[in-house]
Amino acid sequence: MHNYRELLIWKRSMDFVVRVYEVSTLFPVEEKYGLTVQLRNCSVSIPSNIAEGAGRGSNKQFKRFLEFSMGSINEAQTQIELAFRFKYLTKEHFEILIDEAAQIYKMTLAFYNGLKD
């Protein structure tokens, strides 16, 4: 088992969630139950799956939850792209969020590949 609080992928994904929440407050009110909640939920899922997997009894199980986390990163990137296309995000916010999501994905994949089954 791993201490998820010590994992850089967990720390960075927690910071990512905070950024998503901050930026999504700028979305239109009519998106409160639409894109806003979708983006927030998949973002929260990233560090949550890392934490849950870290508490599992084997690296094989942990890897499964890292796969869920990477899936949530892809989902978040799609939601960010949609928000940008709908003009809910500035180009600057879009680029920052997309880049950070991509970096977290790469880090998670590298960590995943380094775990022994």
- Nearest 5°: phi and psi at 58? -145, 160
Tokens of 36: 């806003």
Q: 92: domain CATH number?
A: 1.20.1440.60
What pLDDT does 46 receive? 98
Number of domains into which the chain is organized: 1
| pLDDT score of 64 more than 90 | yes
94: containing domain? 4-114
What pLDDT does 68 receive? 98
| pLDDT score of 50 more than 80 | yes
- The total number of residues written for the chain in this structure: 117
Tell me the mean pLDDT in the region 16-33: 96
Tell me the mean pLDDT in the region 17-42: 97
What pLDDT does 117 receive? 78
Tokens of 6: 């010590």
3-state secondary structure the chain: CCCHHHCHHHHHHHHHHHHHHHHHCCCCHHHCCCHHHHHHHHHHHHHHHHHHHHCCCCHHHHHHHHHHHHHHHHHHHHHHHHHHHCCCCCHHHHHHHHHHHHHHHHHHHHHHHHCCC
Tell me the mean pLDDT in the region 74-82: 98
What pLDDT does 19 receive? 98
What pLDDT does 1 receive? 77
Tell me the mean pLDDT in the region 96-115: 98
